[in-house]
Amino acid sequence: MDTLAIIRELQADPGLRAQLRAVLLSEEILQLPQLVADNGRDIRALREVVASIERRQESLERRQESLERGQESLVKGQESLVKGQESLVKGQESLVKGQESLERRQDSLERGQESLVKGQESLERRQDSLERGQESLRVEVGRLSEIVGGTVEADATSVVVTVLERRGWVVHGIPEPVEVNGEIDVLGRATTAEGEDVAVLVEAKTRLRPADVRRFAAGLDRLVAAAGIVGNYVPYVYGLRVYTGVEETSRDLGLGVLCPDGERVPGALRSA
Strand-pairing partners, residue 171, are 190
Is pTM beyond 0.75? Reply is no
For 170-229, the pLDDT digits (tens) are: 999 888 777 665 555 788 999 999 999 999 999 999 999 999 999 999 999 988 888 889
CA angle 41, 46, 51 (to 5 degrees): 125
pLDDT at 212: 96
| Inter-helix orientation angle 3-12/14-24, to 10° | 110
Q: Where are the domains of the chain?
A: 152-271
Q: Residue by residue, what is the 3-state secondary structure of 108-171? A: HHHHHHHHHHHHHHHHHHHHHHHHHHHHHHHHHHHHHHHHHHHHHHHHHHHHHHHHHHHCCCEE
Distance of CA 191 to the CA centre of its chain: 73
Q: Comparing C-alpha atoms, which of 198, 208, 191 is closest to residue 230?
A: 198
What is the Cα–Cα distance from 162 to 149, expressed in whole angstroms? 20
Residues of the chain with pLDDT under 70: 1, 10, 23-33, 35-36, 128-150, 179-184
Other residues' Cβ atoms within 10 Å of the Cβ of residue 175: 24
Topology of domain 152-271 in CATH is Trna Endonuclease; Chain: A, domain 1 (3.40.1350)
Give the other-Cβ count within 10 Å of 21's Cβ: 11
What pLDDT sits at residue 207? 95
Predicted pLDDT at 25? 64
